[in-house]
Amino acid sequence: MENNKIKKKGILILEDGTKYEAYHFGATVSSSGEVVFNTAMTGYTESITDPSYKGQILTYTYPIIGNYGLPSFSCKESIHEFYESDRIQVSGIIISYYSKHPYHWNMSLSLSDWLCKSGVPGLYGIDTRFIAKKLRKNGGSMLGKILIENEDLPFYDPNQDNLSEQVSIHKKIIYGNGKYKIILVDFGLKNNILRCLLRRNCTIVRVPWDYDFTKEEYDGVVLSNGPGNPKIYKKPIHYIRLAMENKKPIFGICLGNQLLGIAAGGDTFKLKYAHRGHNQPVVLLKTGKSFITSQNHGYGLDARNLSKEWKMFFRNLNDNTCEGIIHDYKPFFSVQFHPEASSGPTDTEFLFDIFINIVKGNKNN
């Protein structure tokens, strides 16, 4: 159980030398990674288990975190009902105020207890909104480290590593028994992608990040979200190019959008401000309708070198960057944001319906 009487000090150090003294909770260990921010008012259980945050120290701008503890770890069809993976993925969390007396009817343990069990440190008592503003001025992220009990660590840049190799499954897994067989390439997927597809009459074949899925029989392919620099993933980009020759439907999400774009002849670049949080506005160019989306990434897709058959699908209304691409007549499209958004706005979940309708039409031809 948590000890509310003893407050151990910790410190957050950013790569520019800025230091923030704070109080410590969670595991009594130091940690290093890429410091990013999240603007959500709820859903910390989902975000800290999202593999897209692998190697990152997550800063929450919402001032109260931990107030409802952690829900049960129950599973449905071998998928955790309330979490986006089976473990904490972040390297640490930074919050303004930690609620030491959490309560919820479905609570199984406190956030601090779970961090302790997982070996992940946390700091509270910091002006996290100020940190978010500082991070945004530095490309949406900075390298940083959480130091506990005077232990020191070197700075660590997770973007230099193959993070998908660390968070992806290692062998093929099959879910459901639906009409449409969907290959789901796991670059660090969120569980809600599985849930969204299972609700749409799919049999899902979940495969590792570097698996040659082109040798499988399937009706469509979903390229999942995931962490890290998209240019590292040369092997899956090759498989995506082969799959595009097959002309079966392909739907890319977040990292999957960037990989589809590279496979189609585009390029990626480091964003000036990055896209973080649950309030990123995008516009569907075909209709002019806008949506609020959930995002967490530091790379953008440069679609200028794509052939004329490719069009921009969505555009970001803050910085006008590409938020998705779509082919004129082949069944390929992708989006940079999270249409499965758990937690986050669910306004764009209809993209799964579009994908399944394309799969259905392609299968019947």
Per-residue pLDDT of 144-173, as tens digits, reads 999 998 789 999 999 999 999 999 999 999
The structure tokens 């849930």 sit at 195
Topology of 163-364 in CATH? Rossmann fold (3.40.50)
Q: What is the pLDDT of residue 1?
A: 44
CA-wise closest residue to 45 among 104, 2, 88: 88
Q: How open is the CA angle 34-90-343, to the nearest 5 degrees?
A: 110
**9-158 CATH choice from 3.90.550.10, 3.30.2290.10, 2.70.70.10, 3.50.30.20:** 3.50.30.20
254 is a catalytic site residue: yes
CATH 3.50.30.20: which residues of the chain? 9-158
Predicted TM-score (pTM) of this structure: 0.94
Q: How far apart are CA 249 and CA 231, in angstroms?
A: 23
> Taking the mean position of all CA atoms in its chain, how far away is CA 85?
11
Q: What is the pLDDT of residue 3?
A: 47
* Tens-place pLDDT, residues 37-50: 999 888 899 999 99
Q: How far apart are CA 5 and CA 215, in angstroms?
A: 59
pLDDT under 50: residue ranges of the chain? 1, 3-5
Q: What is the pLDDT of residue 140?
A: 87
Relative to beta strand 75-76, strand 121-124 is unpaired
CATH 3.40.50.880: which residues of the chain? 163-364
**Residue of 116, 196, 202, 254 marked active site:** 254
